[in-house]
Structure 1
Amino acid sequence: MTHTAIPDQKDGGATILEIGQQPDAWREVAGRLTEGVEQSDAFLRDLLARPDLRIILTGAGSSAFAGEIAAPVLRRHLHRRVEPIATTDIVASPLDHLEAETPTLLVSFARSGNSPESLATTALADQLVDHVWHLVLTCDRDGKLGRAHLGRPDSLVVYMPERTNDSGFAMTSSLTSMLLSCLLLLGPARAEDVEALAGAAEHVVGLQSDIRALAQTKKQRFVYLGSGPLQGLARESALKLLELTAGEVVTYFDSPLGFRHGPKSVLDTDTLAVVYLSTDPYTRRYDLDIIAELRGQLGPDAVRVVSTEPIPDDLGRSVVLPGLAGLPDALVALPYLVFGQYLALFTSLDYGKTPDNPFPSGEVSRVVRGVTIYPMNGDR
C-alpha cells in the first residue's frame, strides 16, 4: 500500500516522523534493556520478592494513562498491589494515596521529567512513605526528574532512546517506549515479543492512506471504547485527538459495558466510534456486543474495530493487526495506539490544525507551566 506523503514541518512533520519511528524505537528499547539487565535485576530482584510491596504507576496526562494500561497485567503477573495513580492526584491530596507504613515502589513515567507534579510526587513519597523506591522511566537525559534520582541507591533511572524525546506537542514514541520498558522490566513482556509488536506497528504504518481517508470524513465526535487495559488506551486515544485538534472535536472514552450507562447519549449521526477489541475470549464477548449495537445505531461506516483477528463480517469494518496471537491486551495496546495516533494526526490536519503545535498562542503547553507546588507542613 502506498504511504501518505509526509506533511512538511509546519503542518506536522515532526509528529508523523515520531509516530512512524516507533517500531524501530521499540527494538532499540528492548536492546538497551537487555544490555542493562544486570543493573535492573540488581535493583528489582529483591524488591519484587517482597510480598508486602505496593507498586504505584504514576505520571500526568498521557503518562498517567500508560499506568492505566500496564496496571492490570502487572497485578496479575506480579501478584502484588499495582495501582495507577496520576501525579496530579497525588500532589493534590497525598495523604489519600500514599501509605506511610506500606513499602512502595513508585514507577514514574515522564517524557521530559520537568513537569512540576512529577518532581513533587517523588518528593512527597520520600517525605511521607517510610520505605520507598523509585523506578524513573524518562526520555530526556537533561530532565530534572532523571537527574534528581540518578545515582541514588533507592532509585533506578531508565532512559529511553534519545529520539523518543518527542519534539512534537503530543506524546507518541515517548509514551509507547516508556510503556514498553515498564512491561519488559516488571511485566510479562519478553524480548521476543517486541519483534511481533514492531511488526504489527509496521502494518499500521502501511495503512496511513486508509487512516487518512477515515479522517477526511471530518466527524465532529469520536468515541473510543476498550475493556480492561484497553480502557486506558481508549482514554489516551481520546486525549490525543482532543489535543491535536485543539479541542475542535468532541472526544469521549469508556469501557464497552460502562458506555451504555448514560455516556451513550453522546452518539449522534456525526460520530465515529472506535472499539479496541480485547484478546481475552471472555472479555471479547462484551466488546462484540457493543460493536453490534453501535453498528445498528450508527451504521457500519461509522464504526471501526481494531483487532488482532478478523471479526464477523456483519459487525462492520475492522483493522486487523497480524502476528499478535497469544499476547495480552497491555502489549497489543502498543500497536493499537499507533492507529489512534495516526487518526488524531490526520484528523488534525484535515481540520486545518498544526499538529506539531496545535496551540500556537500557548494556551496549552507541551510541558505544563503555571503550577504552584505547596509544601506539606506539619506531621503526616
Structure 2
Amino acid sequence: MSETVHLGLAESELERLGGLWTAREIAQQPAMLRETQDLLMRRRAEIEAFLTPLVAQPNLRVILTGAGTSAFAGECLAPVLSRRLGRRVEAIATTDLVCAPHLYFEADTPTLLVSFGRSGNSPESVAAIELADRLVKSPSHLVITCNADGALARYGKGPRGFTVQLPEATHDRSFAMTSSFSCMTYAALAVFSGIASMESRIDGIARATEAVIAQYAAVMKAAADAGYQRVVYLGSAIFKGLAREAGLKLLELTNGDLVTMFDSPLGFRHGPKTIVNDRTLIVVFFSNNAYTRSYDGDLLEELRRDNDAARVIAVTAQDGVGLPERDEVRVPGLAVAEDVDLLFAYIVAPQILAFFESLRRGLTPDNPNTSGTVNRVVQGVRIHELS
C-alpha cells in the first residue's frame, strides 16, 4: 500500500523531519473548508436566530478580535463585513483591547464581540470578553473556535453568547496556525454573509485552494531553496491583513531566522521599500477589483523597473499580470470572484513556502522554537486588575 503524501513528501518522511502535522494541516484546508460549510448549514437556524436580531440594531458595533493569527482573520474581513452589513465592523486585537480597554470599548454602544481562537485558551481572549461584559452596557459574544474544551467555547455558551465550534481537525496541532486560520475566517464570512448563500461559492473556493496546493508546492520548495534573506508580502485592502499573516508564518516556522515584513502596495513606497536588496523575495497579492488591481500593477511595474529585488512573485486569480509564468501563482476558477473568496487559495502558497523554509534551516516545522521562548498557546501573560 502506498503512503499518504502531503506537499510532495510521504508521511513517514514528514514524521522523521518533524513536520507531519504542519504539512497535513496545510493540505487538509480544502476538505476542512467544505466541512466547515456543512457544519454551518446544519446549525444555520440557531446561528441565524442569534445573529439576526443583533444585526437588526442600526447602532450595533461589531468588533472582530483575537491574538496573532486570530486577529489577522479579523483584519482580512472587517472592511468586507462592514460594507455588507451596513454596520460598524472593526478589527481590534485582544492584545489591544486588554491593555487599553478605555480606548476601545464604548459603554453606550451595543457591541457584538466576535472572538476567534484556535485553542481558545489565550489569557487575553478570556480577558477581552470579561472586559466587554464589564465596560459595555449591552454586550453580546460570538465565539468562533477550533477547541470544544477551550475557555472561549465555554464563555460563548453564556446567556448573551453563541459558540461556533469548528471541526476538530481544524484544532491545529502544529505550532503555526494554518487550517484553523482559514476555517475561522471562512466561518465568520459565512455567518455574516448568509450561510445558505455560501453554498454556491464553497466549491469554487475549495477547488481553487486544492489547485494551488497541488500545482505550487514544488514551486514554493524551489523558492525556499533559492535562499532568500528577506521576504516581503504586499496586498491592498483586505489582502494587507493576509500579507501580515503570511509574514508571520515565515517568522514562526523559521524561528525568526528569515526577515519578513508586510505592507500595502501604496504604503510600501513610503519608506518600507528600503528593505529591498538583491536577496529579497517580494510577493504581491493581486485584487480582482479592476480599480484596486491597477495600484497592484503599478507597484509591480515599478519593482521591475527598479530591478533591485531578487525575485517578484504575483499571486493572482486573473489570467496573468505580465510576469513570466514561473513568477505567477495562478489561482484557477475565481477570476470573477469577490476578493474575500480569494483569501483561502491565496494563503496556502505562503504557508507552503514557510514550511519548506523551516525544513531548509534544519528546523522541525511542528515545533520550530525548541528553546520554549514562544509557545503554541501563549504563556507568561499576566492580566492586571482594572480598577
Normalising by structure 1, we get a TM-score of: 0.96
Displacement, 1:302? 0.2
Letter in 1 for 2:266: L
CA distance in 1, matches of 2:147, 2:71: 18
Is the aligned partner of 1:303 residue 2:318?
no
Is the aligned partner of 1:344 residue 2:354?
yes
Q: What are the superposed Cα offsets for residues 146-193 of structure 1, whole Å, 9 maximum, x if unpaired?
A: 11222x221010011000000000000011100000000013661221
**Contact 2:30 2:206 survives alignment (8 Å):** yes
Is the aligned partner of 1:174 residue 2:180?
yes
Taking structure 1 as reference, are residues 165 and 101 closer, same or farther at Cα in structure 2, changes over 3 Å only?
Answer: same
**Contact 1:309 1:321 survives alignment (8 Å):** yes
Runs of 5+ unmatched residues, structure 1: none
Q: What are the superposed Cα offsets for residues 21-65 of structure 1, whole Å, 9 maximum, x if unpaired?
A: 000000000000001011001001111111100000000000000
**1:58-137 correspondence runs (5 A):** 58-137=65-144
Partner residue in 1 for 2:377: 367
CA distance in 1, matches of 2:304, 2:357: 22
Decide which of 193, 196, 204 is 2:201's aligned counterpart. 193
Is the aligned partner of 1:5 residue 2:12?
no
Normalising by structure 2, we get a TM-score of: 0.94
Q: What are the superposed Cα offsets for residues 241-285 of structure 1, whole Å, 9 maximum, x if unpaired?
A: 011000001001000000000000000100000000011110000
Partner residue in 2 for 1:154: 160
CA distance in 1, matches of 2:318, 2:336: 11
**Partner SS, residue 201 of structure 2:** helix
Runs of 5+ unmatched residues, structure 2: 1-5
Structure 1 range deviating more: 132-141 or 309-318: 309-318
Q: What are the superposed Cα offsets for residues 122-154 of structure 1, whole Å, 9 maximum, x if unpaired?
A: 00000000001000000001101111222x221
CA distance in 1, matches of 2:321, 2:345: 22
Taking structure 1 as reference, are residues 312 and 230 closer, same or farther at Cα in structure 2, changes over 3 Å only?
Answer: closer
CA distance in 2, matches of 1:335, 1:305: 13
Structure 1 vs Structure 2 CA RMSD = 1.5
Decide which of 203, 210, 216 is 1:202's aligned counterpart. 210
CA distance in 2, matches of 1:126, 1:330: 31
Displacement, 1:3? 5.4
CA distance in 1, matches of 2:334, 2:127: 38
**Contact 1:295 1:315 survives alignment (8 Å):** no
**Contact 2:64 2:71 survives alignment (8 Å):** yes
**Contact 2:7 2:27 survives alignment (8 Å):** no
**Count of residues in correspondence between the two structures:** 375
CA distance in 2, matches of 1:362, 1:295: 41
**Partner SS, residue 197 of structure 1:** helix
**Partner SS, residue 73 of structure 1:** helix
CA distance in 1, matches of 2:288, 2:220: 22
**Contact 2:278 2:308 survives alignment (8 Å):** no
